[in-house]
Structure 1
């Protein structure tokens, strides 16, 4: 098993659904200019598994990377139907790993964010203006 597609897919998901919408209004304006079907897809694909599946398919097509390289042998065993089956199975496996990565990052991120906020509150209450932060 390799993790290139998972790492790339997780990064793309974070960028498109978590970071770009925070970087000013230009991205939201761009999304609003999309045709209605594409805008609907963007709005509905916040799920890391759903988006991860399509991201994995696109990345596999562009890079040739496999999460489970052994699936590449399906085309020799199943003939012409083996290639699409292998791609779909690999994308499902990759989507599961992307989903797991996003959930894990959120699980770790919330306590870290709360700890940072508690520290900032403490520094403000202890020193008045918060100028003595240790960042």
Structure 2
């Protein structure tokens, strides 16, 4: 099992659905200028599992990145049937890893943010205390 497709997919997900909308207004204007069905697709694919599936299919088709790799082969070999099935199952596996990665990052970011805020408050209190002394 190769995790590179899931890591790249998670990076693409974080960039497109979490970071670009926060970096100025140009990206949001671009999304707003899309035709209605495409803008709705962008909004509907906010789920890391849903978008992860399509990102995984695109990565497999464009650059050949897979999660299951050559180790996974069905018992029978009929190219017209097994190739789409392998792509579909690989995309499901990759989407699951992308979802797990997103959930892990979300779980870690809460305590990390709280710790950062507490540190900032502590430093501010020490600065005020030093100025008053």
Tell me the matched-pair count. Answer: 130
Distance of aligned partners of 1:53 and 1:71 in 2 relative to their CA distance in 1, 3 Å threshold: farther
The equivalences for 1:69-80 within 5 A come to 69-70=69-70, 73-74=73-74, 77-80=77-80
Corresponding residue for residue 125 of structure 1: 125
Instruction: For residue 123 of structure 1, report the CA deviation from its aligned partner.
Output: 1.1
Distance of aligned partners of 1:63 and 1:75 in 2 relative to their CA distance in 1, 3 Å threshold: farther
Structure 2 unaligned runs (5+)? none
Structure 2 length normalisation: TM-score?
0.90
CA contact (8 A) 1:53 1:91 kept: yes
Corresponding residue for residue 17 of structure 2: 17
> Deviations along 1:76-120, whole A, 9 cap, x unmatched?
623311111110000000000000001001111110011001111
Corresponding residue for residue 32 of structure 2: 32
Corresponding residue for residue 116 of structure 1: 116
Higher relative contact order (CA 8 A, sep 6+): 2
Structure 1 unaligned runs (5+)? none
Structure 1 length normalisation: TM-score?
0.89
The equivalences for 1:61-72 within 5 A come to 61-70=61-70
